[in-house]
Structure formats: C-alpha cells, structure tokens
Amino acid sequence: MNPSSQPATGNAGDPPPKIANAAKQPLASHCALVGLVAQKYAETHYPRRPDWALGALLAGFLHDIGKLDPAFQAQLAAGGPPDSPFGAGPRIHEMSWALTHLAFDPAKMRRHLPAGLAWPVIQYAVYWRQHTPINSWETKRFASLSQVCRKAGAWMQSYQEALSQLLAGIRTVAQVALFEIEPDVRLTGEVQTPAFDRGADLAHLGASMTEAQRELDKSMCAAIRSALLFADRMISPMGPGEVGDWLHAWRTHKRLPDLVQTVHEVDDYTTIPGDHRFTQGGLQI
C-alpha cells in the first residue's frame, strides 16, 4: 500500500482514530469512499442527472457520521457487536440523520445545491438507506425523532469538534469540499421521522408540487438510496489498506477501480440491513 494512501493517525497520546466497522476502516476514509463510489454508480446509471450523482456523493459522505458516538467506538474497538447509542439494536442511522438535521443550515444548503436537488432528499437518503424497513415495527418505533434529536443535540454540544474533524478528514481524502457545520445547535420543535414512502413526506406540500414533480422526487430518492446501498455494501468488507489504496488512486488519477463484482451483505451490525445478496453485473466505471 502506498504510505500516503491513509490519513495520518496523529502523535503518540492522541485519541485513537474513529473507525467505521468491524473491518477497522477509518471512519473518514469509509465515508469518503462510499460517497465517491455512490456518485460513480449514479453517474453510470443516470448520466443525464448530475444532481442525483451529487446527492449520492453527499449522502455517502454523511451516512455514517453517527458512528462518531463514543459508546459505539468503544464497543467496536473492544471487538464486540456495536450497539446503538440509544440502545435497542443498531440505530446508528438515526444518529447520522439527527446530526445531518442539526449540523447544517437548510437555507445555506439551498444556496449551494442545484435547484434540482433539495436538501431534505439527502437527509431522507441518510435515514432510509435500506430498500425496506428493517422490520414491521420500525415505522412505529421511529414514529418521532424528537428524542433522538435532543440527545444528538446534547452530544453535538460536547463533540462538535469531532464532527468538524471528521468532515475535514473526508474532505482531505476525497478532495471534495464539504459544507461547514453550524457553530450552534438549534433544536426546533417536534421532528418527525421521514416516511419510508417519500410520497407521504411530500403530501403536506399540497398544490405547490405537481404530480410530475412528486414522481421525479421519488425517483431521485430511490436512485440515491440505491447508489448508497450499493456503495456501502461494496466498501464495507474491504480492509483499511484496500480502502486507502482506492482513495490514493482517486486522489492521484481521479479514477476508481472497476466496480464489477458481486456485493454481499456484511453482517457486522454496522452495515445496511436488506437483501442477503445482489449482483451488479456488467457495470463499468
């Protein structure tokens, strides 16, 4: 492996680097590579929709930021199955969604994103990254994220620096500029879980969206979610050295290896639930 393919780990005595999964991938490298691969996947399948590819890139960067949670990091470092910071099973995607909701100002995001890509679409993909709910109780258990956001808000006040460092690390290894997080956490009222059916989320907009616009939004969400799912399943089984090599190749040549392979689900309690296996045949990047 090229020695420059991994970000520096710091000096002796520094806190250990944040890791993403049982494969011990650095969290910044994992998020960066998942975003880049998701972007390529969307560019390949939807070449006329560059805004969808940008959405996949940003959703990939943000999909696992909840894994900064110290309890999660401690459990993962100890070699045990990492639990959620909220208990009751792996719910890291909730934390990732809550931090995405809290850390970025929607008005600022609208100024940076193309008109065809709404910020709530990225938030939606970060939360509903799998093709189906985990189980029949999920939509009831996740009926409201207000408690999650309150916990995430308190956590962000103590660990905001860690989130800033993670985003800076993603920016370094991916060579893609990221948006700055907000200096102050602003909690706003009751926060409802994004509906799995994206159409239900759009119902409150009433006549402000045509039926064609609604269908396009749902198609965009499905495309970004599929790209994120594919990328996360492809990258998660890799060793940290292979992840570093891919990122080094990206920084050096702006190329990723061909993505022609069978993608298996990795059962390490840190990856996306879903189908046991799917194959992406004939895909050339």
Q: Are 61 and 203 in contact (CB under 8 A)?
A: no
The whole-number pLDDT of residue 262 equals 45
Overall number of domains in the chain: 1
With respect to residue 227, please indicate whether it lies within any of the assigned structural domains.
yes
Contacts of 130 (CB under 8 A, 6+ apart): 225, 229, 272, 273, 274
With respect to residue 261, please indicate whether it lies within any of the assigned structural domains.
yes
With respect to residue 11, please indicate whether it lies within any of the assigned structural domains.
no
Per-residue pLDDT of the chain (285 residues; tens, 9 = 90+): 343 444 444 455 567 789 998 889 999 999 999 999 999 999 999 999 999 999 999 999 999 998 888 878 887 888 766 555 444 444 677 788 888 888 888 888 888 889 889 888 898 888 887 655 555 555 555 545 666 777 777 777 777 888 888 999 999 999 987 777 776 666 655 566 666 677 666 666 556 677 787 788 888 988 999 999 999 999 999 999 999 999 999 999 988 887 665 444 443 334 333 333 223 333 332
> Distance (Å, rounded) from C-alpha 54 to C-alpha 160?
25
CATH number for the domain that contains residue 190? 1.10.3210
> Distance (Å, rounded) from C-alpha 273 to C-alpha 285?
25
With respect to residue 93, please indicate whether it lies within any of the assigned structural domains.
yes
> Distance (Å, rounded) from C-alpha 104 to C-alpha 266?
30
The whole-number pLDDT of residue 201 equals 67
With respect to residue 6, please indicate whether it lies within any of the assigned structural domains.
no
With respect to residue 2, please indicate whether it lies within any of the assigned structural domains.
no
Could you tell me the two tokens for 190?
Answer: 């009751």
The whole-number pLDDT of residue 187 equals 61
Could you tell me the two tokens for 67?
Answer: 């894994």
With respect to residue 3, please indicate whether it lies within any of the assigned structural domains.
no
Degrees to nearest 5, angle at CA 168 with 96 and 93: 10
Parent domain of 238 = 16-280
Q: Which of the 8 DSSP states describes residue 205? A: G
With respect to residue 95, please indicate whether it lies within any of the assigned structural domains.
yes
pTM above 0.85, yes or no: no
Q: Are 228 and 60 in contact (CB under 8 A)?
A: yes
> Distance (Å, rounded) from C-alpha 229 to C-alpha 223?
10
